Amino acid sequence: MPVWERGFHVFWLLGPFVLLIERSPAVVWGSVLALSYVVRSIFKIVGAWLSVFWVTSCFLFLVVCLLSSFMSLMPSYTVSEFVAWFRFPLFAMATAFWLGRDKRLLYAMLISTALGMIAMTGILTTEMIAEGQKGGRLSWPYGDLVSGNYLSKVCPPVFTVMVALAIGAKSCLASIMSSLSFISILMSVLTGERINF
């Protein structure tokens, strides 16, 4: 793998820690990777991924959304909103067809996410001890009441693996995974994010 591609893969693996910082760095992280994948595909003339059904469906959806945006009462606003949100399918495409193609990289991302989950659980536990809940919610490390989003939206793959290991692994590992799963689910409840929970 060329050095520049290694840099993008390392940047991708740092994602769970970038997401711990705040929303804006996370937006930059995902957008850089999505746009880098598009640029890479153009320069390397790689287009086979465009024929995959779900990718084609996303781009058909792009066309429909752009048409409806142009016909709306506020076309500039709706087009800008759509362009901002379309980076998520592009990020998924970058992960599926470039960044996460090697099983070792997927395992590394699971480990990175697990470390991020443990860090977030530690942050939230510290907040419970230091300040307690504010109106039934926790707010660290972001300063607003959405900390449960990290556990409920970033960590489910890791949580699923932990539960599977808690059920099927040998007793020592199963005990550790059971404890981590329990602490994670407890912190999800304590964040006050009932819908996400």
What pTM does this model have? 0.83
Cis before 25 (ω within 30): no
- Residue 177's nearest CA partner among 169, 187, 166 is 166
Tokens for 5, please give them.
């591609």
Tens digit of pLDDT for each residue in 76-105? Answer: 888 888 888 888 999 999 999 999 999 999
Tokens for 10, please give them.
């390392």
Q: Is 169 left (phi over 0), alpha (psi -120 to 50) or beta?
A: beta
Residue 195 scores a pLDDT above 80: no
Residues 141 and 183 placed together within one structural domain of the fold: yes
Residues 170 and 138 placed together within one structural domain of the fold: yes
Which structural domain range is residue 178 located in?
103-190
Residues 92 and 17 placed together within one structural domain of the fold: yes
CA distances from 182 to 124, 140, 171 (A): 14, 20, 16
Residues 78 and 109 placed together within one structural domain of the fold: no
